[in-house]
Structure 1
Amino acid sequence: MALLRTVDRTLDGPWEMIVSGPGACAEPGDLDTLTGFIPAPVPGTAAGALRAAGRWSDREPRPLHGSDIWYRTQLEGQGREILRFEGLATLCEVWLDGRLLLASRSMFLAHEVAVDLDGTHSLALAFRSLAQDLARPHKRGRWRPQLATPGSLRHARTTLLGFMPGWCPSVDAVGPYRPITRRGEGGRPTDIDLRASVEDGTGILAVRLSFPDAGGPVTLHCDGRALGLTETAPGRFEGRLALPGIALWWPHTHGEPRLHAVAVEAGAATFDLGRVGFRTITQARPFAEGLSLAVNGVPVFCRGACWTPPDLVGLPGDRAAYAPLLALAAEAGMTMLRVGGTMLYEAQPFHDLCDEFGILVWQDLMLANFDYPVDDPAFRTALDSEIAHLLDRLQTSPSLCVVGGGSEVEQQAAMLGFPESVWRATAVEAMLREGVAARRPDLVVVPNSPSGGDLPFSTNAGVTHYYGVGAYGRPFEDARRAEVRFASECLAFANVPEPVALREAGLTDPREPAWGLGVPRDRGADWDFEGVRDHYVGTLYGIDPETLRRDDPERYLTLGRAAVAEVMEATFAEWRRTGSITAGGLVWLIHDVAPGAGWGVLDVAGRPKSAWYALKRAFRPVQAVLSDEGLNGLHVHLLNETAHGLDVALTLTFTSAIGKVAAKAERTLSLKPRAAVSLSSAALLGRFFDATVAYRFGPAAHALAHLRLDRADGVPLAEAFHFPAGRDATPREIGLSAALDQDGDGFVLRVAAERHALGVHVVLDGVGRPSDNWFHLAPGGDRHLALTGTGGRPSGMVRAVNGSEVVRF
């Protein structure tokens, strides 16, 4: 049942911690023989405490799973209280005054224990060696994945983070990483079941709760309306409040993510039950034809990224840790984040913020790649409790929309050649569907990610992990040819951070051996994701990346940043065009877990990389894209996902690199709410023009097609570019200029170019960032970039991939 959080007090110590040999202390009394305790924040991890004490190295993380780790504090109070442990990683004993209260074997379950207090008491937590437990004899699975070791992890309910060599640092998650709270018994409602739904446009808020101490009528309040609850049994109250005309919750790109406060009143006391959002989530087509979601009856192209924890060492779960990353996700136009099965369940503030920002959440069970022992009653019981705990905790979260049975379990078995009778995860799917039906029937269940086709990783059914464009080096056209229906993972590259991040990490030279430590690779593969990025550098710019890396490492990194941005925009332009069958794409990953050129579109400090800027352009709710339709010409696609109509002006210009106009079309039109419009270049121009250089009747008349979409009042909305002869990155004079102006309390950088400018990028000398980066300029074009977070008058430089100028400002 959903639990009140506002009346619980955090048991934040002070706590102290010590690392000991496995089994060195059988009980808390043995700790008196040890020295070397250090302060330990709770919630927190042992690694985080060691880092705070100056005993931690990010380059050489200290192994912790081979040790026992003890936490202890003093607990004062009188009378009976409930201690709640939100998350204990992973094999934990809880002791009070030398008496064992609790033994937990899962970091994914919360526990409550009633205690009788009388003064000052000693509370101790013993985190036993996970390595010793994994080394015990275990029944082997039918397959052993390359992703993580050891194979006995299939029996453990712990995160795979730290166990995945090749891309994730070996940081061991140990400790009370989620809050420990205390509360008194009685005096407040408990066993709260609160459900928000929409029926025929009317919001319905149904509640059941226990309140033996109510002492009279109990009233439910929401949206300025009230309902007296019925006492259906002694101390048990129920009610169903109808809310006609209630403002619905929307993804932030499609409307306002409206939340409504809920409270119950009993006598003179009012109890906060949190906030709810009213929305519907439905599948727009059968899952076998590809996952496609509609929110409040409106189809939503789900775009975003796969989530990673804000800090792998401390595993923080507070608003301050989540908010900057989620704010950047929203700014980039992301409508969905997927918490995959290789990660861990994020804390309540993550979901609260997603509710507030209007970002949909796809939540996997923490199952990935392994042949899990679902035939073991103990494992099934633990997993069933895990599902129930997850759904109860997120019972009122409107952003939660999809729950999945884990990551690449079916794919792993299928790729090893097992038949469907083996790779199909029917047991987990059945458990998940049963739990969702009982607790969150409004959610969509995905059996596994990927799943749904003849093979679980088929691209043209269900959901897929699409790496055709990307890891498999396929051309851009494969994004259409593969008939991707929904990519719950895609577009993984070794994304190069901006220069400031590389300087901080001491990774400025890609030729040095240390550089490779930050480059992700799939374990067992003879290639890495830097090679994937380099493939597209060569394809896009016609150069040999290895030679460039050796002779000009700075330009090698520049072209690497530019190439990733190009691939991101081109792929999502294909998937979002009118007529596309693709309903979503989630980039792998949102945030680096270590310094270097990792998978994240944000670096380890949460700063945007070139890929983030590209996604911000690709994910615009009001968007203009171009698609090369060969002999059918160039097609313009205009998208308006918002709830409001727009009067717009469209300009499509075909020019040479120096700006000589070969053809031009202008048109004004009205975009209806939630509408898309597709127009061919022939229709816009009113005559034949070889817009895609497909007919080749003599030399091409243009080198660049530029689409610009403006609001009727002249405010720019979106741009798109098409390069029929490819991207010429040869440096030359392009007339690049930059001027810095003050705009109120902030600064705006005006960037312009006389010729076509490819991959224009701004590098600030200090802190801060531009509102856009790694973008193109049409000949004679300009951009006005807001500079944020600079702390004063900024300085820096502007360059273009194809420009020889270095412009200081």
Structure 2
Amino acid sequence: MTDSGGVTVEGWLVARIPKPRPAEGDVLSVLGDLDWIPASVPGAVHYDLLAAGRLANPFAGTAAAQSALWVADSDWVYRAGFDAPDSAAEAVELEFAGVDTFSTVYVNGERVGTTANAYRPHVLRIQADRLRDRGNDLVVHVRGHHGAIADDLVAARERLAVQDRSDARLTKSLIRRYQRNSYSNSSLLNLGVHVWGIGLNGPVRVRPVPEVRIEDVHAIFLGLDEQYADVAVEVELGRERGCGDGSDVVVHIDLTDPETGATWGTSCDLADGDRAARTRLRVPDPQLWWPRGYGRPHLYDLEVTLERGGAVRQRVRQQVGLRTVELVRADADGRATFHLRVNGERIHVRGTNYVPVDYLKVHGAAEQYDTVFRLIEHGGHNLVRIWGGGARENSDFFDRCDELGILVWQDVFLHSNTYPEYDPAFVVEFEAETTELVRHVRSHPSLAVLCGGNEQWEGWEEWNWQGDVDAFYGAALSRDIAGTIAEKLCPQVPFVVNSPHGGPRAQSPLEGDTHTWGNFVNAGNDPQFVTETCWTQESYSRPETLREHMGLDVDTLTGRGWHRRWTELTGRPMLTKFPYSAHNEMDSLRSYLHSLEIEQAVADHKALSMLRSRSSDCSGIVYWSFNKGGPLFQFGAVDYGLRPMMSHYVVRRLFQDLVVTAYRDIDDVRVVVSNVSPRDVEGELRLRHLRTGGEVLHEQTVPVRLPAGGITRALDVAGLYRRVGNRAGEVVHAELTVDGVVRAEDTLFFCQLADVEPGTGYLRCEFERDEAGRVVLHFDPTSVATLVEIEADRRFLASDDYFPLVPGRRRTIVLEPLEPFDGATVTVTALGRPGIEEFRL
């Protein structure tokens, strides 16, 4: 965003400092004795050791993870050279975008600063006269995590220990870094141990420090006045001491509509010593920013130019969206609610919880984020939650949300734990971290909610923390400190004290938001808003991903005793209960993984269908989680290799504007339609009762009118269930047609998936490539298929996948590649049927 003239430091090496560790001031004296290897920055030490053949893959299994624990407990030294910027500036800044976590930085043998928080970028200043023109020596001593907090653990064991009272949980309390992988069980890794990343996980840049510079730009949409929008722009400046007469500083502020070219601007002449420029722009006939499904996410271009002495010294460019956002807690009649309004329009949230894409170095490469956002769009999401166990994302992430109309729910980084708010140094660090976070996100129109953390109130009220500790350590961080910072820096965005929180207890469906986990009953409680929903049915990443990241060939685990070898390798218990699908093929690891994925998908379908079809108070569903944060992480609709899984398509179908649900009510069959779009919809609903072999036993079509934002009982068929002669061999199919196009459908089975008697007719799948080079599959089945699966040996997105088929419903499926598709093999199978359709491209 800012043209600072900085350069990225490259050519890194890394080495372990052997024990006993030298005193901090003596680190430089041992550099010549160390065993250096090449280092990738951004990165993690584990990956460097792996590339150098010094470490076994820590993802490979429990033994490998256990043998990698020494890495995060060791001290490491990074080293690189850099040239001084070609500038007359008297000072230079070293910007560390990410350090995990505790470090001391030296330049040319002099200590220049420290870091102790991986949630913050760190900027260290060096006087220019301390640098050489060429070949400056940059050394970063990264301390092992446990050694850095050893002195703090004593008090933490006494005051913070809750639940399992483990040091792993306490280190999560004490270290300001990506917290989820602090668990040894139910962690992202799920190998029985926690393997922490360590090292420089963000780029390092060197830049000159101008005497006068732009440090922050904040655009605030104040609202509409007749045909005008009022926009306040605040520009904060930094000034060096002794920089001379500053009266020749001018700040130009220009707001441009990129579609029309119209520009509104002003110039601010600053007096000597002024550190801020403020102005108010009036924009005629404004185009508002809307979330996906409610309008276009229109963005204006804001450019702020700093001139001094008539010369341009700095430019900052960012995009601005004009929108208002509010969180409504009570309807006009006083009835409790919890819903977002954007520009006065009620929004039905269909969101997802994002987990960092790399278990060790946290952030991914640019191409990974491209895939992430394609999947978020494809999944039908209009909100992404960055939860309190995650990590701070860079500006590019939020820019993409702005451009795509994806709302953001941003937690501060407090996660399911107590924290040492009794320690003044910790509080100061947390205040700085949270202040920087809010300033980082506040100008993005996608920002919809700021939240004071994740599952702390739930822990205090419902997990018996009160039986373990003498006070709610961390409450003030979430409620008072984060709340005060949000109100001061970003009052136009609603603040929620914690998630979940509301009502007589944190998880009450009567008020606030809930985390609806665990069983079918919870979805039937009609929660106001669901910030996490997951049915606790585990699945693991796809075989291709396990091979890429664990080095595991799943086809070697087959035959008698394979499950014992799997448990020995990973420590994962075998899951033998499949209550939702009853599909439990377990003759090999491949079939077991497939069965787990089916079970998760069927469970998610039941839960999300309940929330969409029968929870009329529920104004938002945020799925847990978008992606798996490790190869064996049990949750997630997208695997660790960013391959969409079956649940991704379940979520996609149930997050559309229109959703049809058919269900049995005693002996009757009911069909309801949820319309969460902002428009009324008229169409036709067709219901058919069929044998799986294809014979139609009953059919009727009715016109339907579906009010915007509501759930409509569209059709009741009295006594239909009594007319079902063979529950395993008959189904009901309901489809909604609008303007001649099927917009939503559902198939009601009268037994578990494994018990369905599939038809014996043909799938009739035809293949072609369209003009755009996409793969197009045409299905015209003659009998019912319970689950059609389209797979390929390349990553792709389909217009639909993992769906049932019924006769009389011709379907066309389009495949969009996520990587080059030439030479790929596409296979089509149907659950319970022999035979495979295979197409080679």
Return the TM-score normalized by structure 2: 0.84
Q: What is the SS of the residue equivalent to 1:512?
A: helix
1:639 offset after TM fit, Å? Answer: 1.6
Match of 2:784 in 1: 756
Alpha carbons 2:668, 2:718 under 8 Å: kept? no
Q: Distance in 2 between matches of 1:198 and 1:498?
A: 48
Moved more, 775-784 or 611-620: 775-784
Are residues 315 and 156 of structure 1, via their aligned partners in 2, closer, same or farther at CA, if it must alter by over 3 Å?
closer
Instruction: Give the residue type in structure 2 aligned to 1:801.
Output: L
- 1:350-365 to structure 2, matched below 5 A, reads 350-365=397-412
Q: What is the SS of the residue equivalent to 1:151?
A: helix
1:25 offset after TM fit, Å? Answer: 6.3
Match of 2:563 among 512, 529, 533: 512
1:612 offset after TM fit, Å? Answer: 0.8
CA offset digits 1:288-334 (Å, max 9, x no partner):
94632222222223223322212223333553332211210111111
1:748 offset after TM fit, Å? Answer: 0.8
Match of 2:322 among 278, 296, 303: 278
1:723 offset after TM fit, Å? Answer: 2.6
Match of 2:233 among 203, 206, 210: 206
1:91 offset after TM fit, Å? Answer: 1.1
Are residues 218 and 131 of structure 1, via their aligned partners in 2, closer, same or farther at CA, if it must alter by over 3 Å?
closer
Is 1:293 equivalent to 2:340 in the alignment?
Answer: yes
1:756 offset after TM fit, Å? Answer: 1.6
Q: What is the SS of the residue equivalent to 2:789?
A: strand
Q: What is the SS of the residue equivalent to 1:434?
A: helix
Q: What is the SS of the residue equivalent to 1:346?
A: coil
Q: Distance in 1 between matches of 2:108 and 2:693?
A: 80
Which sections of structure 2, spanning at least 5 residues, go unmatched? Answer: 240-245, 257-261
- 1:583-602 to structure 2, matched below 5 A, reads 583-596=619-632, 598-602=634-638
Match of 1:444 in 2: 494
Q: What is the SS of the residue equivalent to 1:251?
A: coil
Are residues 597 and 115 of structure 1, via their aligned partners in 2, closer, same or farther at CA, if it must alter by over 3 Å?
closer
Instruction: Give the residue type in structure 2 aligned to 1:689.
Output: A
Are residues 554 and 208 of structure 1, via their aligned partners in 2, closer, same or farther at CA, if it must alter by over 3 Å?
closer
Are residues 341 and 419 of structure 1, via their aligned partners in 2, closer, same or farther at CA, if it must alter by over 3 Å?
same
Match of 1:263 in 2: 303
Q: Distance in 1 between matches of 2:711 and 2:169?
A: 53
Q: Distance in 2 between matches of 1:517 and 1:305?
A: 33
Match of 1:251 in 2: 291
Match of 2:799 among 763, 767, 771: 771
Alpha carbons 2:580, 2:599 under 8 Å: kept? no
Q: Distance in 2 between matches of 1:402 and 1:483?
A: 18
- 1:37-116 to structure 2, matched below 5 A, reads 37-56=36-55, 57=57, 58-59=59-60, 60-61=64-65, 62-63=68-69, 64-77=71-84, 79-116=90-127
Q: Distance in 1 between matches of 2:106 and 2:600?
A: 52
Match of 1:215 in 2: 248
Q: Distance in 2 between matches of 1:520 and 1:262?
A: 53
Instruction: Give the residue type in structure 2 aligned to 1:221.
Output: D
Is 1:342 equivalent to 2:353 in the alignment?
Answer: no
Q: Distance in 1 between matches of 2:311 and 2:698?
A: 74
Match of 1:797 among 810, 827, 839: 827
Identity %: 21
1:434 offset after TM fit, Å? Answer: 0.6
Match of 2:162 in 1: 144
- 1:693-712 to structure 2, matched below 5 A, reads 693=721, 696=722, 703-712=730-739
Q: Distance in 2 between matches of 1:256 and 1:464?
A: 30
Q: Distance in 1 between matches of 2:338 and 2:51?
A: 44
Alpha carbons 1:488, 1:585 under 8 Å: kept? yes
Q: Distance in 2 between matches of 1:597 and 1:158?
A: 19
Q: Distance in 2 between matches of 1:659 and 1:263?
A: 63
Q: Distance in 1 between matches of 2:461 and 2:658?
A: 40
Are residues 239 and 520 of structure 1, via their aligned partners in 2, closer, same or farther at CA, if it must alter by over 3 Å?
farther
Q: Distance in 2 between matches of 1:370 and 1:725?
A: 42
Moved more, 619-628 or 446-455: 619-628
1:142 offset after TM fit, Å? Answer: 4.3
Q: Distance in 2 between matches of 1:401 and 1:613?
A: 26
Q: Distance in 2 between matches of 1:775 and 1:698?
A: 23
Q: Distance in 1 between matches of 2:2 and 2:782?
A: 59
1:376 offset after TM fit, Å? Answer: 2.2
Match of 1:241 in 2: 281
Q: What is the SS of the residue equivalent to 1:173?
A: coil
Q: Distance in 2 between matches of 1:107 and 1:196?
A: 29
Return the TM-score normalized by structure 1: 0.87
Is 1:565 equivalent to 2:612 in the alignment?
Answer: no
- 1:457-606 to structure 2, matched below 5 A, reads 457-469=507-519, 476=520, 478-481=522-525, 483=527, 485-501=529-545, 505-508=552-555, 509=557, 511-513=562-564, 515-516=566-567, 531=575, 535=577, 537-541=578-582, 545=584, 548-550=585-587, 556-577=592-613, 580-596=616-632, 598-606=634-642
1:414 offset after TM fit, Å? Answer: 3.0
Match of 1:26 in 2: 24
Match of 2:264 in 1: 226
Q: What is the SS of the residue equivalent to 2:297?
A: coil
Match of 2:242 in 1: none
Alpha carbons 1:732, 1:802 under 8 Å: kept? no
1:85 offset after TM fit, Å? Answer: 2.3
Instruction: Give the residue type in structure 1 aligned to 2:317.
Output: L
CA offset digits 1:73-127 (Å, max 9, x no partner):
2232264222222322211111122221112221222332322234232221111
Q: What is the SS of the residue equivalent to 2:596?
A: helix
Are residues 769 and 193 of structure 1, via their aligned partners in 2, closer, same or farther at CA, if it must alter by over 3 Å?
closer
1:193 offset after TM fit, Å? Answer: 4.0
Alpha carbons 1:351, 1:397 under 8 Å: kept? yes
Match of 1:685 in 2: none
Alpha carbons 1:292, 1:486 under 8 Å: kept? no
Are residues 76 and 808 of structure 1, via their aligned partners in 2, closer, same or farther at CA, if it must alter by over 3 Å?
closer
Instruction: Give the residue type in structure 2 aligned to 1:461.
Output: E
Instruction: Give the residue type in structure 2 aligned to 1:753.
Output: P
1:372 offset after TM fit, Å? Answer: 1.0
Q: What is the SS of the residue equivalent to 1:607?
A: coil
Alpha carbons 1:405, 1:446 under 8 Å: kept? yes
Q: CA RMSD in A?
A: 3.3
Instruction: Give the residue type in structure 2 aligned to 1:490.
Output: C
Match of 2:259 in 1: none
Match of 1:163 in 2: 182
Alpha carbons 1:737, 1:807 under 8 Å: kept? no
